[in-house]
Amino acid sequence: MDKALIRKYNIPGPRYTSYPTVPFWNPAGIQLIDWQASVAQSFRQSNQTEGISLYIHLPFCVSLCTFCACHKKISKTHDVELPYIQTVLKEWALYRQLFSEKPQIKEIHLGGGTPTFFSAENLRLLIEGLLKDSIKHPDFVLSYEAHPNHTSAEQVQTLYDLGARRNSFGIQDYDPTVQTAIHRIQSFEQVKAIHDLSREIGYTSISHDLIFGLPFQTESSIRDTIEKTVSLRPDRIAYYSYAHVPWVKGVMQRGFDENDLPKDVEKRHFYELGKEMLFANGYVEIGMDHFALPTDTLYQALENHQLHRNFMGYTAGKTQLMIGLGMSSISDSWYAFAQNEKSLKAYTQRVENNQLPIMKGHLLTAEDLIMRQHILNLMCHLETDLAVGLSEDMQRQIRQQLQEMEKDALLTYDGTKLHITEKGRMFVRNICMTFDLRLMRHKPETRIFSMTI
């Protein structure tokens, strides 16, 4: 681990689940008619071949985890479930009006919040409502995120019966001190019980989410967490850098003092330690922050050059159209982005008034589309061809921006093809930033991104 390089390149930067990134969407937003047109266009182009993806945001949580930067709604009562599902299904009906034929659904992902806050009965109502009068793509995938403390055997079985073969458990860290600081307390025994149950039922891809850079983490706690995790052999492991953005989320990320967070080199050491342990146990690095066993579809997608990245992170298959349903969800038609109202009240009111609940969005320019593809290539495949879509002058500008990184052996060239080296993997976000024309032209005056390392 090169400490000098970490100090040099550890700057605020995007995670590139989209391009342009949300802070650089057109401030004027997007006209609803333009968004609807882009959805209809993308649907016509891709429904018969790729199918479409649905992301459903289920925002309710029993308690607040102080590390979380997601949009959520804390609730101790479950009478919010049914009205919310009815609203989501009504929003889906509004989108169905834009389609020229039955949608072919390739992927449904339930995110949150805590999707398993919802009862098995209501989860069935939701999935069956989404699939009604639709066609399941031959490669249909249903997946969901789950809190080990709030997931029952009935929920796991019901979702399996509806087609789920992949689930993801938010673990973060097993150390009691860390868990107390982030208000996410769950034992290894609880995780093992729900993990083993998923295996017994027949789930073929189980994922565990871990985070490094949390308050009070130590080398010992990282080792213990990784050892416990690999003992269960999840098919995928997401090993994320904690994104500390209290200036965005306010008090929700102020449950601890910033002095309690590991800094720069120490934080990166935790990642390198975890990566080394995962490699030793047969896991392969996928893109950025993701690892998978060679038997998992995520690894196979990497090998087949089909790995894709969107607002859900890395996926094993691409769909041109991804529709986000629920409060705060983000949709992607490839040609445009749109985000729903972030408050439950505003979201519900808009849908009840038979309106798509879009609060902001961005219509991509021709330049945006070119840069989006280059950044996607780098994030998924660690390479891109500068000659594709870029003028010779633009290629020269980008290569000039990358000169220092080339000197530091973070990347190489084969003619016009750029390749990120093994050494450069940890700096993939920095390399992508040289293609981010909107970031370069409108450098933020205040900090809006987490640190790249």
Residue 314 assigned ligand-binding role: no
The CB density around residue 154, as the number of other CB atoms within 10 Å, is: 12
Residue 209 assigned ligand-binding role: yes
Residue with tokens 């330049």, as numbered in its chain:
367
CA distance 256 to 279: 32
Residue 68 assigned ligand-binding role: yes
What's the 3-state SS for 190-214? HHHHHHHHHHHHCCCEEEEEEEECC
237: phi then psi, degrees, rounded to nearest 5: -135, 125
Residue 432 assigned ligand-binding role: no
Residue 255 assigned ligand-binding role: no
Q: Let me know how long the chain is.
A: 453
Residue 113 assigned ligand-binding role: yes
Residue 326 assigned ligand-binding role: no
CA angle 17, 156, 241 (to 5 degrees): 30
* 8 A C-beta contact, residue 218 and residue 180: no
Residue 414 assigned ligand-binding role: no
Residue 69 assigned ligand-binding role: yes
Tokens of 423: 């050494």
Residue 264 assigned ligand-binding role: no
Which 3 state secondary structure label does DSSP give 222?
helix
Amino acid at 235: D
Residue 164 assigned ligand-binding role: no
What's the 3-state SS for 108-138? EEEEECCHHHCCHHHHHHHHHHHHCCCEEEE
Residue 112 assigned ligand-binding role: yes
Residue with tokens 């031959």, as numbered in its chain:
138
CA distance 268 to 252: 24
CA 19 to chain centre: 14
Which 3 state secondary structure label does DSSP give 286?
strand
**Cα–Cα separations (whole angstroms), residue 328 to 59, 79, 144, 344:** 9, 21, 17, 9
Residue 184 assigned ligand-binding role: yes
Termini Cα distance of the chain: 12
Tokens of 8: 């040099």
Residue 129 assigned ligand-binding role: no
CA distance 275 to 320: 32
Residue 55 assigned ligand-binding role: yes
Bind-site residues for S-adenosyl-L-methionine = 55, 67-69, 112-114, 145, 172, 184, 209, 243, 330
Residues in the annotated binding site: 55, 61, 65, 67-69, 112-114, 145, 172, 184, 209, 243, 330
Residue list for the binding site for [4Fe-4S] cluster: 61, 65, 68
